[in-house]
């Protein structure tokens, strides 16, 4: 459902694809194999922004999500013992940006999110709670959550209760913690998380504590990504600060393995991330592990009874939803790829990437393996500053990246950000399809086209960042520009 009566701020970031270097075995015609992993296939449906949970039977369920054009209700199940996927009864409410967890009663609870044909990131938030019985393959609607939200963290504690932590309510990131009791179908408010955030990772560790890791702020703090780790004790209803995660990220997967450690996998911070970092709750320390073969964001992860962690679906730098499944064995620190890995969907209705900072005040994070060796390159705006070039419902704009302004530093890529100012900086809406053109031979011009046929008319702001090969970036001189979207472009 699209909002029809309220104009909302749009923030869309378009990023050229970064090339990552993975282990050479990835490029082999044969999949990487770990002895602990039964050969498996990729997901039947390419998905992003969905939830995953492991049932007591060991079967992993992928629930809801975004298929490139709509929120969906689809449920698909992977049996790690056979490596085979099957389709299950759909969830009653189509949605994405939801959380899901298996409770001590063996049921899976799908909580929150939003249902919208506008994008996988923005739309009316939901308080919906639906219970899935893996044995009967049936769904039942339960008492709604008190606070409607999308992209929350969800965890089941040892006391049999479910905790929904953080999220985004359509206006701001939340510190809110609410406890659900499956036995009584009731909700109770608990102590707020110290750091409000959304698209974070939340999981219960073997020590009984619930760990809230990473995530993102709202617009009041520049949509920054966090390394923050905070632990919640359900017994005392208190929070404790822990050692930060090495890599700031949101839209990532967080899983608890059988060895008692937690694994942060993939995610987004101005680019799709492949990094895997292991947290040991007993020592409050982090260690870097073998990177995931496919860098991606908005994926879902789940741990099989064997202790192997499955990373499923997601997006690669806005290239559309993918069906890729890769399995990580914490015991051997190795990854296994599927027997076949299809490419991203060819024609997504909306090609989207996570929301990034619209101003120069929040710098992007360099790629984890690179160290900046030179000053960031500069650039200049090419498109008209007061009247962006349009063709039908397509907005055209371009920037000039000049290596000479940084002493000859090599340009890697350019990112563009567009947003609607002055409506409400904490409310946004996203519906865009963008194509980036790398510079033609002998040129250094980067251009972007945005399909903005379903957005609010009025003033538009566009900025761009220029990145060097080391991942260093800087908002280029005169890099924020204004224009006007025709009144014929509006929410439908």
Asked whether 69 and 75 are in contact (CB, 8 A), the reply is: no
Nearest-angstrom CA–CA distance, 384 and 46 = 38
Q: Domain 23-337 falls in which CATH fold? A: Neuraminidase (2.120.10)
pTM of this structure: 0.67
Asked if domains 23-337 and 378-485 share a fold, the reply is no
Q: Which residues 6+ apart lie within 8 Å of 406 measured at CB?
A: 374, 375, 376, 377, 378, 468
Which pLDDT score, from 0 to 100, does residue 255 have? 97
What 3-state class would DSSP assign to 24? Answer: helix
Radius of gyration (Cα) for the chain, nearest Å? 22
Nearest-angstrom CA–CA distance, 439 and 416 = 15
Which pLDDT score, from 0 to 100, does residue 143 have? 98
Please give the biggest Cα pair distance in the chain: 68
Which pLDDT score, from 0 to 100, does residue 431 have? 31
Nearest-angstrom CA–CA distance, 489 and 12 = 16
Which pLDDT score, from 0 to 100, does residue 99 have? 98
The residue ranges of every structural domain in the chain are: 23-337, 378-485
Of 197, 123, 16, 200, which Cα lies nearest the Cα of 430?
123
Q: Domain 378-485 falls in which CATH fold? A: Immunoglobulin-like (2.60.40)
Q: What is the pLDDT along the chain (492 residues), one digit of tens a residue?
A: 322 233 232 222 222 222 222 222 222 333 444 546 899 999 999 999 999 999 999 999 999 999 888 899 999 999 999 999 999 999 999 999 999 999 999 999 999 998 875 544 556 899 999 999 999 999 999 999 999 999 999 999 999 999 999 999 988 999 999 999 999 999 999 999 999 999 999 999 999 999 999 999 987 888 899 999 999 999 999 999 999 999 999 999 999 999 999 999 999 998 899 999 999 999 999 999 999 999 999 999 999 999 999 999 999 986 679 999 999 999 999 999 998 543 333 333 333 333 333 333 323 333 333 322 233 344 555 555 445 555 555 566 666 555 554 444 555 556 555 554 443 332 233 333 334 444 444 455 555 655 554 444 455 555 555 555 555 544 344 344 555 554 443 332
């Amino acid at each position: 459902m699209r909002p029809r009566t309220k104009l909302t701020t749009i923030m869309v970031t378009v990023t050229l694809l970064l090339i990552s270097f993975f282990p050479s075995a990835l490029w082999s015609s044969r999949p990487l194999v770990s002895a602990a992993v039964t050969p498996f296939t990729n997901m039947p449906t390419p998905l992003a922004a969905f939830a995953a949970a492991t049932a007591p039977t060991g079967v992993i369920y992928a629930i809801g999500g975004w298929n490139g054009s709509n929120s969906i209700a689809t449920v698909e199940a992977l049996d790690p013992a056979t490596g085979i996927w099957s389709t299950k009864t759909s969830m009653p409410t189509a949605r994405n940006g939801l959380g899901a967890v298996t409770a001590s009663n063996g049921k899976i609870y799908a909580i929150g999110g939003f249902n919208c044909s506008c994008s996988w990131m923005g739309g009316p938030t939901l308080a919906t709670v639906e219970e899935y019985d893996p044995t009967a393959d049936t769904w039942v609607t339960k008492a709604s959550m008190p606070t409607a939200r999308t992209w929350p963290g969800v965890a089941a504690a040892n006391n049999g209760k479910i905790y929904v932590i953080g999220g985004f309510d359509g206006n701001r990131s939340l510190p809110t913690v609410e406890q659900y009791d499956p036995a009584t179908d009731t909700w109770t408010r608990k102590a707020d998380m110290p750091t409000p955030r959304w698209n974070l990772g939340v999981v219960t560790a073997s020590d009984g504590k619930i760990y809230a890791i990473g995530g993102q702020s709202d617009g009041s703090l520049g949509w920054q990504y966090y390394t923050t780790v905070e632990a919640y004790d359900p017994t005392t209803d208190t929070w404790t600060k822990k050692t930060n995660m090495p890599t700031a990220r949101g839209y990532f997967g967080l899983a608890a393995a059988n060895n008692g450690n937690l694994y942060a996998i993939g995610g987004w911070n101005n680019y799709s991330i492949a990094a895997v970092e292991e947290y040991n709750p007993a020592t409050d320390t982090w260690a870097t592990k073998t990177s995931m073969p496919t860098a991606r964001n908005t994926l879902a992860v789940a741990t099989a009874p064997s202790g192997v962690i499955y990373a499923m679906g997601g997006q690669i730098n806005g290239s559309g939803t993918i069906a890729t499944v890769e399995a990580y064995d914490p015991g051997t620190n190795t990854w296994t790829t599927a027997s076949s890995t299809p490419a991203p969907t060819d024609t997504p209705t909306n090609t989207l990437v996570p929301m990034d900072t619209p101003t120069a005040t929040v710098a992007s994070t360099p790629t984890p393996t690179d160290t900046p060796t030179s000053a960031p390159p500069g650039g200049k705006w090419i498109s008209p500053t007061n009247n962006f070039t349009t063709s039908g419902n397509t907005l055209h704009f371009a920037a000039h990246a000049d290596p000479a302004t940084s002493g000859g530093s090599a340009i890697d890529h350019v990112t563009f950000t567009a947003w609607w100012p002055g409506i409400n900086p904490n409310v946004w809406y996203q519906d865009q399809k963008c194509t980036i053109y790398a510079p033609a031979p002998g040129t250094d011009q980067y251009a972007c086209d945005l399909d903005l046929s379903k957005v609010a008319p009025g003033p538009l702001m566009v900025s761009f960042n220029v990145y060097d090969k080391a991942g260093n970036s800087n908002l280029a001189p005169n890099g924020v520009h204004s224009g006007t979207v025709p009144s014929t472009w509006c929410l439908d």
